[in-house]
Amino acid sequence: MKLFQTVFAGILMTTGWAQAATIVDTGMPDTRGDNLGFSTSFATEAVQFTIDSVVTITSIQSVFSHAHTFITPTDVVMHGGIAANDSSSGNDLPGTMLLESAFTVSQGTTPDWYGPSGLSWTLDPGTYWATFWLNPASCSNCGVASYINPPTSLPSAGGTSAATGIPHDWAPVADSWGLRVTAVPVPAAVWLFATGLLGLVGMAGRKKI
């Protein structure tokens, strides 16, 4: 009974540690670019970040607003690693697209943190891109649908913009949109730690005998 109580308490402790925490937070930007979806300007933005342990991403947010008559769903795309370097601009390129989730920012919202939550994206240690881009399947009204495929070149931080008719002229802009990433340790890691406690308790019991 004492052995069970000890291990159960250890599992409760590790479960308590597995709380959602913000692992990336660039802070609220001082300025912002044009509204996401405006037909003559902003098309996508991305921020590069690095994690040093296995985590499950639960939410990703950036700073958005909508002030125009049309609303379009926005996709958050997670890219793994860095594929190459764009020799013409010196910017890194995002690696393989790993995961994707759509969300919508309602018309008339003021600049604030928005993005999908309730995610369960497990990532190994490494460098990743969180990319926000307009969903072309629902963008018939916005005027840039044919130019908002996943970008070929992005800066490692801040925002990127593309004028209508220039599909891949991605360049850093002065305005910053910010990034927040919330994650928890993967359940498997927590369970392994708990079973490790069981092994330690068993060893202690044998020594006591």
8 within domain boundaries: no
- How many domains would you assign to the chain? 1
Whether 5 is in a domain gets the answer no
Residue 93 lies in a domain: yes
Residue 83 has pLDDT above 70, yes or no: no
Could you tell me the residue range of the domain that residue 105 belongs to?
Answer: 21-187
The burial of 35, by beta-carbon neighbours within 10 Å (0-12 exposed, 13-18 middle, 19 or more buried), is given as middle
In a domain, 204, yes or no: no
Residue that wins the pLDDT comparison between 195 and 101:
101
123 domain-assigned: yes
Whether residue 55 lies inside any domain: the answer is yes
For residue 93, the model assigns a pLDDT of 61
pLDDT band at residue 187 under the 50/70/90 scheme: low
The mean per-residue pLDDT over the stretch 87-107 comes to: 69
Any domain includes 90: yes
Question: For the domain that residue 114 is a member of, what is the CATH number?
Answer: 2.60.120
Residues 6+ apart with CB under 8 A from 102: 73, 74, 75, 76, 116, 135
Residue 11 within a domain: no
Quote the pTM value. Answer: 0.61
Residue 155: C-alpha distances to residues 32, 67, 134, 145, 173 (Å): 16, 26, 18, 22, 10
Averaged pLDDT for residues 116-120: 93
